[in-house]
Amino acid sequence: MCGIVGYAGGRKAAEIIYEGLLRLEYRGYDSAGIAVLKDGKISAVKRQGRVCALGGYIKDMDGKLGIGHTRWATHGSPSDINAHPHSAGKFTIVHNGIIENYSQLKAEYFDGEKFTSETDSEVVVRLLDKFYDGDITRALFKVASLLNGSYAVAAVCTDFDGVAVIKNKSPVIIGYGNDGNFIASDAPALAGFCGEISFLKDGDCALVTRGGVSIFDSAMQGVLRERVKNSATNASLDLNGCPHYMLKEIREVPASVVNTCNAYSSAEEKLKSVVSGCDRVIIVGCGTAYNSGLIAKRYIEKFARIPAEAEIAGEFRYNRPVVTPTTAVIAVSQSGETADTLEAAKLAYSLGAKVVAVTNAPYSQLTRCAHAVVPVVAGHEICVAATKSYTGQIAALYLIAHTLAGRDIGEATQKLFKISRLCESAIETEGIDSLAHMCARSVGTYFLGRDLDYAVAVEGSLKLREISYIAGGGYPAGELKHGTLALVDENVVAVVIITDKRLADKSMNAVEQVLARGGKVAVISNIAETEKELQGRAQLIKIPDCDENLSPLVSAVAVQLLAYKTAVLLNRDPDKPRNLAKSVTVE
Ligand code: M6R
């Protein structure tokens, strides 16, 4: 949430920072700004709107060091004034996170003074200016000691030929380039600029200059942080001829399944020892990651016969969860940064549970809150709507369920390889265009299914709501008659997912109940009998026949494409849906 970039080097800073911000826009895109330092003077530009709103100013911004920000508003509406950077005295800062005690700090240190913006961040720069005694590091640590909340604060100061940064909870990476050094919220910002990066830990402060990087831990002692290869490359940012990242990433679903399988063996032994003897599993996550937990619950109960439940991380952390040393808590998160999921994992850890992280971000904070880490290898996911990370999560969770069952994963892996090829053919599924037209014309679209199909229905509904802004929900098909049926009319679409032969007749009851009331129905299915029974009375989207436990991977592709095509028909930007950001690092 919010992206920050900083650079100190031999090139024009504004250009590099602008490029980095464009790549971090998935973290927030309601306003943006850049500040550069030249000859002891800071010049800044900030504008409401997307990063490209800054484009016209870059050529006039000279200076070889600076900072930039792309915002997802928390305090204060998106506006030029509230956009970052913020300045006071010799300092200019950008901030990612939330300062929870900002009003107390304002009252205590600046009583009666007029602030320029409505942001929580402005108090940070004012405090820096207040406590600065000629030593930037000391000022940063002093200010940090007063702050409650999450922050990655990058600062430039007219006295210092570099960028200073301090962090708590919000991520910061350091990038080592050939012609200068960098800071950023996430690796894609530095693709092509830095082959090597390192990750700051909470409490760390770094001074980044053209000549080098000095890092200090929370005790203000100099430390080294491991340098690793930057996995984000220019190729990972390429749209590969697709009009949007979402489509590109749906096309990468097969690879996410295969790569996640291939990486599983690196985690398997550790996982086995961590979960050995566990008699209960709770899967926690938010949004799509929670929805993959709905699938995991079913896998774990089915294969391992261990009681399992999926819980929304933000609920888990506040409902005094009952866990014991024989409870495994599986925290699922694409980014490994989601605040609620991190706190849920930390809480479970502190209560003695065995915590397993399932994440697409190998160096993320979540990996540091877990006894074992199972990688999802989906590659960088840029679109705000999760697609390939969801299928990667399902693959990882399927294998975890086999490990919990004490089974060898060889056969399961082969099944996943096979299904990845079916996902490839599902990308060409026919009929999605016309269903997308139907959904785009609807005032509401809701999804129904049973068991695993229900879990995909929940995800399909989230995807459609998120990027097309069409209201709806995902419900168990059997629940239809207990309330949701009241929605049915000619302007509402029901999408029923039917891939489970055992339950197909039951799900068809829901189809009949909607049709009988004049509602519009589409069925996503791979069952021949379903097609016969429909007799053309509802639109049918045929997906490839497959192992019924793995059908969510195939039907996921269909619902993702449906959401994508509907959003495009409605002229929505599927990569950057309104009001949202990809990594939700605040509560
Ligand atoms: O990075 P995470 O997997 O923890 O993110 C969780 C949710 O914020 C995320 O899945 C969100 O729901 C997606 N935008 C859905 O497409």
**Amino acid letter for position 514:** V
DSSP string covering 267-279: HHHHHHHHHTT--
Q: Which atom of ligand 1 is nearest to the CA of 361?
A: 1
Instruction: Count the alpha carbons within 13 Å of 509 in the hemisphere toward its beta carbon.
Output: 10
For residue 334, the ligand 1 atom closest to its alpha carbon is 3
> What are the φ and ψ backbone dihedral angles of 217, each rounded to 5 degrees?
-85, -175
C-alpha 459 – ligand 1 centre gap (Å): 11
- What pLDDT score was predicted for residue 230? 94
DSSP 5-32: EEEEESS-HHHHHHHHHHHTGGG--SEE
The protein residue with its alpha carbon nearest to ligand 1, atom 14, reads: 385
What is the per-residue DSSP string for 291-357?
HHHHHHHHHIIIII---EEEEEHHHHTTS-----TTEEEEEEESSS--HHHHHHHHHHHHTTPEEEE
Query: Could you tell which of 27, 244, 249, 288 is best to mutate to test the pocket of ligand 1, judged by most ligand atoms within 8 Å of the CB?
Result: 288
Candidates 2, 286, 423, 439; catalytic one: 2
- CB atoms near residue 354 (< 10 Å): 25
* Cis geometry, peptide bond prior to residue 577 (ω within 30 degrees of 0): no
Interval between CA 293 and ligand 1 midpoint (Å): 12
Closest atom of ligand 1 to 387 CA is: 16
| Burial class of residue 13 in the structure, from the number of CB atoms within 10 Å of its CB (0-12 exposed, 13-18 middle, 19+ buried) | buried
Both tokens of residue 273? Answer: 């020892």
Nearest CA to 283 among 241, 328, 335? 328
Q: What is the pLDDT of residue 396?
A: 98
- Residue 291 CA, closest ligand 1 atom number: 10
Closest CA to 562 of 490, 451, 467: 467
- Centre of ligand 1 to C-alpha 582, Å, is 7
In angstroms, the Cα distances linking 551 to 247, 302, 413 are 20, 15, 15
Show the CA angle centred on residue 194, arms to residues 188 and 199, nearest 5°: 70
Can you tell me the distance from the alpha carbon of 95 to that of 152, in angstroms, rounded to the nearest whole number? Answer: 6
Using alpha carbons, list the distances in angstroms from residue 548 to 270, 474, 500, 510.
Answer: 29, 20, 6, 20
Q: How far is the CA of 334 from the centre of ligand 1 (A)?
A: 7
Asked if 66 contacts 14 with a C-beta cutoff of 8 angstroms, the reply is yes
pLDDT at residue 258 in the model: 98
**Residue of the CA atom closest to atom 16 of ligand 1:** 385
- Give the position, in ligand 1's atom list, of the atom nearest the Cα of 287: 12
Cα 392 to Cα 253: distance, rounded to the nearest angstrom? 8
Q: Answer yes or no: 582 catalytic.
A: yes
The protein residue with its alpha carbon nearest to ligand 1, atom 4, reads: 333
Rounded to an integer, what distance in angstroms lies between the CA atom of residue 578 and that of residue 84? 20
Ligand 1 atom nearest the C-alpha of 285 is 4
pLDDT in tens, the chain (587 residues): 799 999 999 999 999 999 999 999 999 999 999 999 999 999 999 999 999 999 999 999 999 999 999 999 889 999 999 999 999 999 999 999 999 999 999 999 999 899 999 999 999 999 999 999 999 999 999 999 999 999 999 999 999 999 999 999 999 999 999 999 999 999 999 999 999 999 999 999 999 999 999 999 999 999 999 999 999 988 888 999 999 999 999 999 999 999 999 999 999 999 999 999 999 999 999 999 999 999 999 999 999 999 999 999 999 999 999 999 999 999 999 999 999 999 999 999 999 999 999 999 999 999 999 999 999 999 999 999 999 999 999 999 999 999 999 999 999 999 999 999 999 999 999 999 999 999 999 999 999 999 999 999 999 999 999 999 999 999 999 999 999 999 899 999 999 999 999 999 999 999 999 999 999 999 999 999 999 999 999 999 999 999 999 999 999 999 999 999 999 999 999 999 999 999 888 77
Cα 328 to averaged position of ligand 1 atoms, centre (Å): 22
Residue 286 Cα to ligand 1 middle (Å): 6
Angle at 241 between CA 235 and CA 242, to 5 degrees: 105
**3-state SS class at 154:** strand
Q: What share of the chain is helix, strand, coil (3-state, %, to 5)?
A: 40, 25, 35
| Among 338, 462, 564, 580, residue to substitute to test ligand 1 (most atoms within 8 Å of Cβ) | 338
Quick one: how many helices (H) and strands (E) in the chain?
17, 25
What is the Å distance from ligand 1's center to 84 Cα? 25
Contact (Cβ atoms closer than 8 angstroms) between residue 525 and residue 497: yes
**Ligand 1 centroid vs 287 CA: distance in angstroms?**
5
Q: Closest Cα to atom 8, ligand 1: which residue?
A: 287
- Specify the ligand 1 atom closest to the Cα of 583: 1
How much is the pTM?
Answer: 0.94
The residue to mutate among 244, 284, 312, 335, having the most atoms of ligand 1 within 8 angstroms of its beta carbon, is 335
Tell which residue, 411, 454, 456, 412, has the closest CA to residue 562: 456
- For residue 166, the Cα-to-chain-centroid distance in whole angstroms is 23
Question: Which two tokens mark 257?
Answer: 């399944």
DSSP result, 194-244 = EEEEEEPPTT-EEEEESS-EEEE-TTS-EE----EE----HHHH--TT-SS
Q: Which atom of ligand 1 is nearest to the CA of 384?
A: 14
In angstroms, what is the span from residue 246 Cα to ligand 1's centroid? 14
What pLDDT sits at residue 583? 81
Q: Which member of 90, 167, 520, 582 is catalytic?
A: 582
Give the bridge partners for 27, in sequence order.
none
**pLDDT confidence of residue 236:** 81
The binding-site residues of ligand 1, defined as CB within 6 angstroms of any ligand atom, are 286-289, 333-335, 338, 341, 384-386, 462, 466, 583-584
Q: Is 546 a catalytic residue?
A: no
Distance 388 CA to ligand 1 centre (A): 12
Confidence at residue 445, expressed as pLDDT on a 0 to 100 scale: 97
How many CB atoms neighbour CB 178 within 10 A? 9
What is the DSSP pairing of strand 3-9 with strand 31-38? unpaired
What is residue 161's predicted lDDT score, i.e. its pLDDT?
A: 97
* Best residue for ligand 1 mutational test, from 290, 316, 582 (most atoms within 8 Å of Cβ): 582
Rg, the chain, Cα only: 25
